[in-house]
Amino acid sequence: MSSIQKVGREIYLMERLAQGTSALHCLHPRAKIVVTFCYLVAVVSFPRTEVLGLVSFFLYPAILIPVSETPWKPLFRRLLPALPFVALGGISNLLFDRTTLFFLWGVPVTSGMQACLSIIEKAGLSVMAVLLLAATTPLGELSREAKGMKFPGVLVDLVVLTCRYLGLLWEEGVTMYTAYLLRAPGEKGIRMRDAGPFLGNLLLRSISRAERVYRAMVCRGFAGEFGYCNSTPLKPGDLLFISAVPGVFTFFRLVNFPLLLGGIFV
């Protein structure tokens, strides 16, 4: 129960973080979307056994998280859902790819070990980049940009509405769940034979709620589509961010910076 309530509290965490006023928050959403996309492509384009080259890309979250004043803990907590499937891919490399590449202090380093590490690095970096985008850009601004970039209006409106109703229906679900557990003490969850009526009830309540919400929206002038203000033009700072940061990514992608740095000392 407590874990469910905890998730409920965290639903709008990203939206709360996105209300900040740091330099990163003030950048144009389009600039942040473009840079995040470049970052993701650069990170996942590394060969499957590359470990060292990826280390340079830790600079991006390491610099931007404090600049945007985003707390570290919730971001790291959100890394967890991404890990199970990624771990499966990583561990499979350990088992199936045992080609010895070199020996490190007498320990054989296999291609599978490198691939496993590389997958974990890539997972951490890519999830951090997306979370940073979400934690510094309100969903409303992302939606406006999506409409500006000619995404289908129905889908954009759906994303906004779904996000808005998430908390509402979450509360509805938690209330029903609490009521169920109070009547069935000792149960760890909903019994499977009760799952049909339970979820069916939640679904019917959701539909009733949707109808009430629709009527309220019509009263406030809703005519089938949300209106958005026109997107503001990119400022010089945004242009600098768009051109300089992907340039750095390209440099780190082409030049193995850690190897270069290590070569100076060894």
Partner 1 sequence: MHMADALLSPAVGVSMCAVSAGAVVYAAAKIKKEELDEKKIPVMGVMGAFVFAAQMINFTIPATGSSGHIGGGILLAAVLGGGPAFLTITAVLIIQCLLFADGGLLALGCNVFNMGLIPCLLVYPLLFKPLMGRSFGVRRLTAPSILGVVLGLQLGAFAVVVETLASGITALPFATFLAFMQPIHLAIGLVEGIVTAAVLHFVFAVRPELLESAAAGTKIPAVPMKKVLLILGVLTLVTAGGLSLYASGYPDGLEWSVEAVTGSSELEARGVIHSAAAFLQKTTALLPDYDFPQEVGRSAVPGTSAAGLVGGALTFGVAISCGLVISAMKKKAKNKAA
Task: Give the Å distances, CA to CA, from 215 to 2, 168, 202, 219, 220.
Answer: 34, 16, 20, 6, 9
Considering the rule CB under 8 A, would residue 5 count as an interface residue with partner 1? no
Considering the rule CB under 8 A, would residue 148 count as an interface residue with partner 1? no
Considering the rule CB under 8 A, would residue 113 count as an interface residue with partner 1? no
**Does residue 177 contact residue 1 with C-beta atoms inside 8 Å?**
yes
**Does residue 258 contact residue 53 with C-beta atoms inside 8 Å?**
yes
CA distance 158 to 166: 12
Among 20, 34, 140, 153, binds partner 1 (CB under 8 A): 153
Beta bridge partners of 110: 100
Decide whether 237 or 262 has the Cβ nearer to partner 1: 262
Decide whether 48 or 233 has the Cβ nearer to partner 1: 48
Q: Which amino acid would we find at residue 215?
A: R
Among 20, 140, 165, 181, binds partner 1 (CB under 8 A): 165
Considering the rule CB under 8 A, would residue 45 count as an interface residue with partner 1? yes
Among 34, 140, 181, 198, binds partner 1 (CB under 8 A): 198
Considering the rule CB under 8 A, would residue 34 count as an interface residue with partner 1? no
> What is the smallest separation between the CB atom of 243 and partner 1, expressed in angstroms?
18
Query: Can you spell out the DSSP letters for 100-167?
Result: EEEEETTEEEEHHHHHHHHHHHHHHHHHHHHHHHHHHS-HHHHHHHHHHTT--HHHHHHHHHHHHHHH
Give the CA diameter of the chain.
Answer: 74
Among 30, 93, 238, 245, binds partner 1 (CB under 8 A): 93
> What is the smallest separation between the CB atom of 232 and partner 1, expressed in angstroms?
21
> What is the smallest separation between the CB atom of 235 and partner 1, expressed in angstroms?
22
User: Near partner 1 by CB under 8 A, which window of 24-32, 107-115, 227-235, 240-248?
Assistant: 107-115
> What is the smallest separation between the CB atom of 183 and partner 1, expressed in angstroms?
15
Instruction: Please state the φ and ψ torsions of residue 103, each to the nearest 5 degrees.
Output: -110, 135
Considering the rule CB under 8 A, would residue 138 count as an interface residue with partner 1? no
**Please, is 18 exposed, middle or buried when counting C-beta atoms within 10 Å of its C-beta (0-12, 13-18, 19+)?**
buried
**Does residue 121 contact residue 51 with C-beta atoms inside 8 Å?**
yes
Considering the rule CB under 8 A, would residue 26 count as an interface residue with partner 1? no
Instruction: Please state the φ and ψ torsions of residue 11, each to the nearest 5 degrees.
Output: -55, -45
Decide whether 7 or 26 has the Cβ nearer to partner 1: 7
Among 26, 149, 179, 199, binds partner 1 (CB under 8 A): 199
| Interaction mask 57-86, partner 1, x per CB under 8 A | -xx--xx-xxx-x--------xx-xx--xx
User: Near partner 1 by CB under 8 A, which window of 24-32, 118-126, 234-242?
Assistant: 118-126
> Any long-range contacts for 177-186 (C-beta under 8 Å, 24+ apart)?
177/1, 177/4, 178/1, 181/1
